Amino acid sequence: MKITDDSPPVLTALDRPNSYIGRSVPRPNLARLTQGRGQYVSDVTLPRMAHVAFVRSPHAHARIVRIEKAAAEKAPGVIAVVTGAELAQVMTPWVGVLTHLKGLKSAPQAPIAVERACWQGEAVCAVVARTRAQAEDACELVEVNYEELPAVVDPETALDPQTPVIQPTLGDNLCFERKLDVGKVDEALASSDAVVETTFLFGRHTGVTTEPRACVADWNPGEQKLTVYHGTQAPHMMQNLFAKHLGLAEHQVRVITKDVGGSFGIKVHTYADEMATVALSKLLKRPVKFVADRIESFVTDIHARDHRVKAKIGVKNDGAITAFEIDDLTGIGPYSVYPRTSGIEANQVVNLVGGPYTCPNYRAQARVVFTNKNVMCQYRAVGHPLAVAVTEGLVELAAAKIGMDPLEIRRRNLFPDDGYPAQSASGLKFEKLSHHESLAHLDSMMNYAGLRAEQKKLREQGIYRGIGFASFIEVTNPSAAFYGVGGARITSQDGATVKLDAQGALIVATGVTEQGQGAESVVAQCVASSFGVPIERVRVITGDTDVTPYGGGTWASRAAGIGGEAAWQAGKALRANVLAVAGAMLQAKPEALDIRNGKVVDAVSGAERLPLEELARVAYFRPDTLPSGIQAELVATRHYVPRAWPFAFTNGVQASYLEVDVETGFVKLLKHWCVEDCGTIINPQLVDEQIRGGIVQGIGAALFEHCLYDESGQLTNGNMADYLVPMAAEMPDIECGHVVSPTADSELGAKGAGEAGTAGAPACVMNAINDALRPLGAAPLTDIPFTPAKILRALGRI
């Protein structure tokens, strides 16, 4: 039996008599999902609803000469056939730039391509019909005459003078560039006992959410109101963007997000086809539904990670790391994605390389260039998997070169646990991390010495097992430093409104959104604890811009740390309001009372004084019996935004144990471990499952996932048969451990945990493969994903 019951609470400063902080309470909304009673956007049907399908460019780069739509317009069920030029009358184009990423540039992007299609899969015409099948049928009848243009597909040559410029108004194909030079890198490298230099390649991959992107837009001219049912992570951000580009006020737009079938950063961006769907609803004055099919998802969901990083590390024979140097190049497609931009991932790589280590000498260059492939943007753990793979790959290669154990070299270079606050060479500020304690915990949890002995013994039998590690830091709880300062209307604060209902239960509306990670559960736990009711008496409402406080939604591991704190504070505020009423009713001082398990009690003795049902009855139905001057305020709202630190960094370390079949090149994952420190743990089970899910997403990147483009810019494996994702049979069991260093920025002290798994797993698997193959003299593998063919080539077998 592997299922354990809810763990008993450990008393901390956060503990109240019925605290749920630190307990693995099951999520309250799960039965709906296990019974197939969820309400995903794909499931939404409205009266008069029409369906849209898009004609998409088969070319990576082409001029749209002529669109002949007469035949399609006559097809059964067709309501409208709309071109980019026609839709431009309804919706304005957008430009994906942020002012704090200096020099970042991009061209205006339209919901449907107007003159040119700039990647294979860009929509060039919309067909709206009574059913999706009829819309797709009619798409076949739209004749588009293209003049094919040269496609820019290789980032390495994108900046060459002879390479065509994709967006002529920009002058060149450079989207963004950043340089950093800290300390004395050249001197440090020259004085090193060993220098390792290599090139890391990261294959493009994508999110493959199980539910594809979906939206239903409903413009009601009678109310002059647009309602959008949208599978998004950030409803308020989308409210702003829909309003802005349709020329509406934000209060005319309502975004409703019910169940979302996976997001992982895929569903936090502006997609041209979703913007087109909204514009079509405005144009046609009726609901229009768009659900991407899987083939469309592969060519339009943002891709990520397509980076080439030339990297160098210097070390002394005693293991001291002297310097890091990187040169990152990434190709992001023809547009910087709106509104978060496509410069963030490269920027994060520059910020994060070397992050766990005290080494003061660091030089970095990053260039972000335009290409004629699908757009790239932020996907789970943005930049982290790349930076961690580069850093940790270099550290283990350096350790091997000087003959030092990979854990020992880390011990000699990680920021000391008693040395905070601290700052990385790139300028990241750390409030409190626990690299050494985490490493020690991992060492014992995995029985490192025992595994090394087993590895050695099995090698003698011709069985090649490897052990790889990755220390990491993770950006969580972002302040306005992430997007707000760059001019994007993406809020970093979040709010919660708590209402006492007429039977003494609580309804909480929160600005963070549920994507399956358990945000609703965390919010309920925080409110139940700080207010004082059994969690069964808390219902949480998320994902409705008409109902919830203005909030940022879910991204960058912010929902628990920021949304949880707002909920905690709102519960406290309502408790104070309720106790004021209770004091009046009981002729007691409010501070002599408390609320525990849904009852007003004497704070000292715990004796019951008044059930909340009775208080609510009096406050709502017999307020005439309350003393004059007492007005019950049974709704409270609180907001929270981190102020002391731009980001709440977390840290951790992962390990992978695997076996490489040197005959076939196949990798069998035997076990994976992760110790991480996300501060106060509100719900241990949810944290562990975020870690596990994240690790498997990172393993997918390491071993399987790759969007393969040919030289003409065609995606050649855009379906689930050819693009491999991790399935149950190939994945290992994953053991999680924790160290707890709360942030003092909030009362809860919680940091995020959503991306740590994805951040560290690829580096870990890479290091383990190289550890396995080292005795065979194989050249180190640094080209992600590590397919059997690449492994056999490294072994010289093919």
The DSSP bridge partners found for residue 145 are 66
Count of residues engaged in binding another protein, rule: CB under 8 A: 60
- Could you say which of 118, 175, 237, 260 contacts another protein (CB under 8 A)? 260
Q: Can residue 133 be called a binding residue for another protein (CB under 8 A)?
A: yes
**Options 155, 385, 516, 737; binder of another protein; rule CB under 8 A:** 516
- Using CB under 8 A as the binding rule, whether residue 607 contacts another protein is answered as no
Residue with tokens 């789970």: 380
Please report how many Cα atoms fall inside a 13 Å half-sphere around the Cα of residue 181, on the Cβ side.
6
To another protein, the closest distance from the beta carbon of 728 in angstroms equals 4
Can you tell me which residue has the tokens 């609180």?
638
Q: Judged by CB under 8 A, which stretch of 260-268, 311-319, 368-376, 462-470 contacts another protein?
A: 260-268
Does position 303 interact with another protein (CB under 8 A)? The reply is: no
Residue of the chain from 219, 242, 264, 657 that contacts another protein (CB under 8 A): 264
Please check whether residue 475 is in contact with residue 347, taking contact to mean a CB–CB distance below 8 angstroms: no
Determine the straight-line distance between the first and last CA of the chain, rounded to whole angstroms: 45
Among 14, 16, 20, 42, binds another protein (CB under 8 A): 42
- DSSP assignment of 688-755 equals HHHHHHHHHHHHHHHHT----B-TTS-BS--STTTS----GGGPPPEEEEE-----TTSSS-B---SS
Which pair of tokens denotes residue 510?
A: 């929160």
Of 56-64, 364-372, 556-564, 685-693, which segment contacts another protein by CB under 8 A? Answer: 685-693
Smallest separation, CB 723 to another protein (Å):
10
- Cβ pair 795, 776 in contact under 8 A: yes
For residues 641 and 695, which CB has a smaller minimum distance to another protein in the complex? 695
Site string for another protein, 211-240 (x = CB under 8 A): xx----------------------------
Judged by CB under 8 A, does residue 47 bind another protein?
A: no
In this structure, what token pair is assigned to residue 54?
A: 């898009």
Which CB, 513 or 714, lies closer to another protein? 513
Q: Judging by beta carbons within 10 Å of its beta carbon (0-12, 13-18, 19+), is residue 735 exposed, middle or buried?
A: middle
Tell me the closest approach of the beta carbon of residue 20 to another protein, in angstroms. Answer: 15
For another protein, the closer CB: 727 or 776: 727
314 binds another protein (CB under 8 A): no
Q: For the chain, how are helix, strand and coil distributed in percent, rounded to 5? A: 30, 25, 45
- CA 763 – CA 784 distance, rounded (Å): 10
- Candidate list 115, 147, 160, 293; residue touching another protein; CB under 8 A: 293
- The encoded tokens of residue 397 equal 């290669």
Stretch of 13-21, 64-72, 256-264, 313-321 contacting another protein, by CB under 8 A: 256-264
Q: Does 475 bind another protein (CB under 8 A)?
A: no
Report the 10 Å Cβ neighbour count for 179: 11
Of 169, 628, 728, 777, the one binding another protein (CB under 8 A) is: 728
Whose tokens are 């004091």? That residue is 583
Q: Provide the minimum distance between the beta carbon of 33 and another protein in the complex, in angstroms, as a whole number.
A: 3
Among 15, 33, 440, 671, indicate the residue that binds another protein (CB under 8 A).
33
Residue 40 binding another protein, by CB under 8 A: yes
Locus of tokens 């260059």: 365
Residue 370 near residue 152, CB atoms below 8 Å: yes
Q: How many whole angstroms separate alpha carbon 105 and alpha carbon 97?
A: 6
Residues in the chain, total:
798
Q: Which of 114, 440, 485, 731 binds another protein (CB under 8 A)?
A: 731
- How is residue 242 written in tokens? 């829909």
CB of 100 to another protein, least distance (A): 32
In the complex, the smallest distance separating the C-beta of residue 172 from another protein, rounded to whole angstroms, is: 37
- Residue among 396 and 514 whose Cβ is closer to another protein: 514
Q: Which among 109-117, 532-540, 686-694, 707-715 is the span making contact with another protein, rule CB under 8 A? A: 686-694
The residues with which 655 forms a beta bridge, in sequence order, are 469, 673
Helix (H, G, I), strand (E, B) or coil at 101: coil
Backbone angles phi, psi at 207, to 5 degrees: -80, -30
Q: Is 481 exposed, middle or buried (0-12, 13-18, 19+ CB in 10 A)?
A: middle
The residue within the footprint of another protein, chosen from 30, 453, 502, 708 (CB under 8 A), is 30
Q: Cβ of residue 450: shortest distance to another protein, in angstroms? A: 21
Give residues 188-207 in contact with another protein (rule: CB under 8 A): 207
Query: Is the CB of 497 or the CB of 517 nearer to another protein?
Result: 517
In the complex, minimum distance from the CB of residue 733 to another protein, in angstroms, rounded to a whole number: 6
Residue 638 CB, nearest approach to another protein (Å): 27
Task: Name which position in 7, 10, 17, 31 contacts another protein (CB under 8 A).
Answer: 31
Exposed, middle or buried by CB within 10 Å (0-12, 13-18, 19+), for 591? exposed
Shortest distance, position 30 Cβ to another protein, whole Å: 4
Burial of 485 (0-12, 13-18, 19+ CB in 10 A): middle
Residue 34 touching another protein (CB under 8 A): yes
Rule CB under 8 A: is residue 727 a binding residue for another protein?
yes
* Under rule CB under 8 A, residue 760 binds another protein: no
Distance CA 41, CA 23 (A): 31
The DSSP secondary-structure symbol of 197 reads E
Applying CB under 8 A, does 670 fall inside the site for another protein?
Answer: no
Q: Which is nearer to another protein, 38 or 360 (CB)?
A: 38
Among 48, 63, 285, 294, binds another protein (CB under 8 A): 294
Applying CB under 8 A, among 12, 17, 37, 164 the residue interacting with another protein is: 37
- Which neighbouring-strand residues pair with 325? 312, 363
Nearest to 514 by CA among 506, 526, 499, 524: 524
Our finding on whether 517 is near another protein (CB under 8 A) is yes
In angstroms, the CA 81 to CA 66 distance is 14
In angstroms, what is the minimal distance from the CB of 696 to another protein? 3
Looking only at the bridges linking them, the beta strands covering 123-129 and 648-660 are unpaired
CB of 40 to another protein, least distance (A): 7
Tell me: does residue 75 bind another protein (CB under 8 A).
no
* 694 touching another protein, by CB under 8 A: yes
| Cβ neighbourhood burial of 437 (10 Å; 0-12, 13-18, 19+) | middle
Of 11, 249, 604, 729, which lies in the binding site for another protein, with binding defined by CB under 8 A?
A: 729
DSSP 679: B
Side-chain-facing half-sphere of 285: CA atoms under 13 Å: 4
Give min distance, CB of 235 to another protein, in A.
16
For another protein, the closer CB: 29 or 782: 29
- Residue 666 interacts with another protein (CB under 8 A): yes or no: no
463 binding another protein? (CB under 8 A): no
- The answer to whether residue 74 forms part of the interface with another protein (CB under 8 A) is no
Residue entry with tokens 């990755």 = 470
Give the three-class secondary structure for 612: helix
Which three-class secondary structure state does DSSP give residue 422?
A: strand
C-beta of 633 vs 735, nearer to another protein? 735
Q: Binding segment for another protein among 321-329, 390-398, 649-657, 721-729 (CB under 8 A)?
A: 721-729
Q: Which amino acid is at 633?
A: E
Smallest CA-to-CA distance from 576 within 562, 595, 559, 557 is with 595
Cα–Cα dist 364/371, whole Å: 22
Query: If binding is defined by CB under 8 A, does position 720 make contact with another protein?
Result: yes
Binding site for another protein (CB under 8 A): 1-3, 26-27, 30-38, 40, 42-43, 45, 131, 133, 207-212, 259-264, 293-294, 515-518, 685-686, 689, 692-697, 719-721, 725-731, 733-734, 757
